Amino acid sequence: MWYVVLVAIPGLVAGIALALLVHPTSPFWLIVDVGLVFATVDCTYLLALAALYWKGYADTHAPFSLGLAVVLSVLLFSHFLALPHAYDTFELGLGPQLHYALFAVATILESSAFALLLYLSM
């Protein structure tokens, strides 16, 4: 059980740092900051799970491990794109159109990854 907490620590540190860097203009800034912290913890969990399944696939070459590794990697990518304030924090100056385009790309990748997992699970 200790490894679950150990994996969460980098996510907590990154989430608190991002929350301190950028405060939203919303009156619900505390709720958004708590959401940001948990979103970064989710990213660290997805990263750890993806690494475990990629290692499992490298060791066993099991198709199911490959499918899970791909799905987890795509979920990590889309979860990172959905992080609150990700664009403001890095000051990319991206408009809402690019945000929606990235969301569409992430959704298409997720659907493709789920289809691949289903195919490899049969």
Contact 70, 110 (CB under 8 A): no
The total number of structural domains in the chain stands at 1
Query: How many beta carbons lie within 10 A of that of residue 108, not counting itself?
Result: 12
Residue 57: per-residue pLDDT: 92
Q: For 86-108, what is the mean pLDDT? A: 65
The most confident of the ranges 66-70, 110-114, 116-120 is: 66-70
Q: Supply the range of the domain harboring residue 78.
A: 2-121
Question: pLDDT tier at 55 (50, 70, 90 boundaries)?
Answer: very high
How far apart CA 122 and CA 100 sit, in angstroms, is: 33
Q: What is the DSSP string of the chain?
A: -HHHHHHHHHHHHHHHHHHHH---SSTTHHHHHHHHHHHHHHHHHHHHHHHHHHHHHHHH--HHHHHHHHHHHHHHHHHHHT-TTHHHHTT----HHHHHHHHHHHHHHHHHHHHHHHHHH-
Two structure tokens written together for 11: 């996510």
Check whether 90 has a pLDDT greater than 60: no
Residue 51: per-residue pLDDT: 92
